[in-house]
Structure 1
Amino acid sequence: MTARDARLHAFRSDLADARLKGEVAAERFVAGRPARITASVADMRKAPRPDAGVNTQLLFGDDVLVFEVAEGWAWVQAERDGYVGYVADTMLGGRDLAPTHIVCVPRTFLYPGPDLRFPIAGQLSMGSTVTVTDAAETRGTHYAVLSSGEALIAGHLRSIGKAAADYVAVAETFLGTPYLWGGTSGFGIDCSGLVQLAMRMAGSNVLRDSDMQAATLGEPLDPGPDYAGLRRGDLVFWKGHVAVMTDADTMIHANGHTMLVSREGLKDAVARIGYLYGGPTGFRRP
């Protein structure tokens, strides 16, 4: 049988996605049940335990397929990027309404009604999708109202289907955001999460991890000596890391050195990273 990446295909020895029947070995095959993430951010873990490592995160409104629910954990696959893992089953709901809008700022507040003076009911990250059913205005501020009666600042949303013109400009809005291993949100993000979310907002759904991005995004690039051939939007990869060029000399990346999304000169980064992890492993132009 063909080898499959378990990060992107739902299979275990005892259970597997019915779509993989004949391609993987498992005791039982099931069809995934559609569900939707209802938490602001849902950690997707390697195993169904609260102390298991976080591989990635799902955002409010993300659609998933559920293959198993047991002892408080759901084994799911994200429909947007195919990632497989475990989330708390309390973070799942139905798909009663189709999303109409997406959060287009790094972070925003959810209010119990259309008034910014109300105590907040929650917070959402860029990339979260919601269903807007009404509009309201209070003291000159415009709100998008959800079916629950909760409200968001209308200017923090845009219609699904509209895309940002420049994914690098989206990434730059995250400057100063804390670094978080496995993070994919405006509350905390890692290097490949930053690339994925910024590109998604610019209309391109890409794979999650840096090795997947290094193998699939755009075309390989040889920047030449001193990296003179690089330009804004090009990607620089190290083993387990990715950065986005903001111009010919400077990059932006979520990194464990500053523990923030920050700018850094490429040559400075190459020198700093090299003694621990070696030089860049590749360059790609989306």
Structure 2
Amino acid sequence: MELQPGREALVRVAVATLWSSPEAIRPIDGPALTTGADIPTWVSGMDTEQQVGDCVLSQLLLGERVLVTELRPDGWAHVIAVEQPAAKLDPRGYPGWLPADQLAGVDPARTGDPLVVDATITALRADPDGPVVLPGVIVGTRLVPAGPARDGWRPVHIPGQPAPLWLPDGQLVPIPIGPPEAADVLAVAQRLLHVAYIWGGLSAYGIDCSGLVHLAWRRFGVLLPRDADDQAVATNPLPLGAERPGDLYFFARPGRKIHHIGIVTAVAGGRGSRRMLHACYRRRRVVEEPMPADRAATLVGVHRV
């Protein structure tokens, strides 16, 4: 299906990066711009300063819906990521740019209740146990089944692919009905321990603090906003001390908006201290640790989804 402004499209690569503008692209960003979007090579090629370049806004997963708002002759598309709420930027979703060849038109014939990928990282194959066609598919990706499982493999429809691709059936699960248990969400987030911090990242190759929260809840069909300050608005505040593992800590400097978020892993009690899992800008990776004193000084709230 042809891309057209004003119509929805679907991400056709495992992980597409949403950019602030085509002109903001750096030489290091080349691997993320290819038709296959080689995110592992992109992330591994960055130094610590390049990991926090503000040209990256967010990332989108395979099959994610976007609204196309502009197509440029040089191959770039401006889109609204409608599955990543960002009320302060656009009531329709998160706006940004990506290469148009990382999108495919919506095929109305490919319908059905999606399943969600539960493997942290997996690959889609041409046939059961056949050659890899699309590597690097991330936990939380939603895929439409193309038929029943066969010999432990499940066929799925992929945007831009004429024939179904296959992955192990055990790596796909139904999207839960009703709110998930906080402990289950925390367990998904803990799988991303030690993943590189990438500003705007939303994958098991690189992620930021609000991306970690968004992705962990997305695995269970809950679409939280993309940015930490919006996530605070969308969740329920609790009295400090009432938190439990799986709740969210929010941080802000005096007079400033919320700039950081962490997931509660243990609460203060006895000689213990509050602990959290978070994608740490300073350490450039996802860590689980006692809340540092400088973080505690900027702790402004604890919320529950």
Provide the TM-score with structure 2 as the length reference.
0.72
Contact residue 140 and residue 216 of structure 2 kept, 8 A? no
> 9, 29, 39: which one pairs with 1:35?
9
- Give a deviation string over 1:114-142, Cα, whole Å, max 9, x none: 116x35642201122222213222xxxx1
The amino acid across from 2:244 in the alignment is R
1:193 aligns with 2:176: no
Identical columns (%): 34
SS for the counterpart of 1:231 is coil
Q: Distance between the aligned counterparts of 1:87 and 1:98, measured in 2?
A: 25
Other-structure match for 1:67 = 69
Secondary structure at the aligned position of 1:232 is classed as coil
Does 2:110 correspond to 1:107? no
* CA distance in structure 2 between the partners assigned to 1:214 and 1:123 by the alignment: 30
| Alpha-carbon distance in structure 1 between the residues aligned to 2:150 and 2:97 | 38
In structure 2, the residue matched to 1:21 is none
The question of whether the paired residues in 2 share the 8 Å contact of 1:125 and 1:187 is answered with no
Separation of aligned partners in 2, 1:119 and 1:186: 19
Distance verdict in 2 for CA 1:201–1:146, change over 3 Å:
closer
Kindly provide the CA deviation profile for residues 159-199 of structure 1, in whole angstroms up to 9, marking residues without a partner as x: 34557533222212222222211011122111101111112
Asked if the contact 2:280–2:286 (Cα under 8 Å) also holds between the matched residues in 1, the reply is yes
Deviations 1:199-225 (A, max 9, x none): 22233211100111122222x2331xx
Aligned to 1:11: none
Query: What SS does the aligned partner of 1:145 have?
Result: strand
Contact 2:140 2:220 in 1 (8 A): no
Give the structure 1 partner of residue 283 of structure 2: 258
Encode CA deviations 1:16-49: one digit per residue, 9 max, x unaligned. xxxxxxxxxxxxxx97211111011111111133
Candidates 136, 142, 163, aligned match of 1:129:
142
The equivalent residue for 1:79 is: 82
Match of 1:94 in 2: 105
- 2:173 alignment counterpart: 158
- Deviation per residue, 1:78-112 (Å, 9 max, x gap): 12121111111011102212362221222112222
State the secondary structure of the residue aligned to 2:232.
helix
CA distance in 2 between counterparts of 1:272 and 1:120 reads 46
CA contact (8 A) 1:66 1:75 kept: yes
Shift of 1:229: 3.4
- Over 3 Å counting, the alpha-carbon distance change for 1:176 and 1:281 in structure 2 is same
**After superposition, where does 1:1-286 map in structure 2 within 5 Å?**
32-49=6-23, 50-51=25-26, 53-70=55-72, 71-81=74-84, 82-96=93-107, 97-98=110-111, 100-115=114-129, 118-119=131-132, 121-134=134-147, 135-137=149-151, 142-147=152-157, 148-161=163-176, 164-165=180-181, 166-218=184-236, 220-223=237-240, 228-239=241-252, 240-248=259-267, 249-266=274-291, 269=292, 271-273=293-295, 279-286=298-305
After TM superposition, the score normalised by the length of structure 1 is 0.77
Question: Could you say what secondary structure the match of 1:281 adopts?
Answer: strand
Task: List runs of 5+ in structure 2 lacking aligned partners.
Answer: 27-53, 85-92, 158-162, 253-258, 268-273
Tell me, in whole angstroms, the C-alpha distance in 2 between the residues paired with 1:200 and 1:246.
19
Question: 1:16: which partner in 2?
Answer: none
| Higher RCO (Cα < 8 Å, 6 or more apart) | 2
Report runs of 4+ in structure 1 exceeding 6 Å deviation. Answer: none
Q: 1:179 to 1:98 in 2, by over 3 A?
A: farther
Contact 1:190 1:255 in 2 (8 A): yes
Unaligned runs of 5+ in 1: 1-29
Q: What is the CA–CA distance in structure 2 between the aligned matches of 1:98 and 1:204, rounded to whole Å?
A: 20
Are residues 203 and 129 of structure 1, via their aligned partners in 2, closer, same or farther at CA, if it must alter by over 3 Å?
closer
| Residues 110 and 32 of structure 1, relative CA distance in 2, 3 Å threshold | same
Structure number with greater Rg is: 1
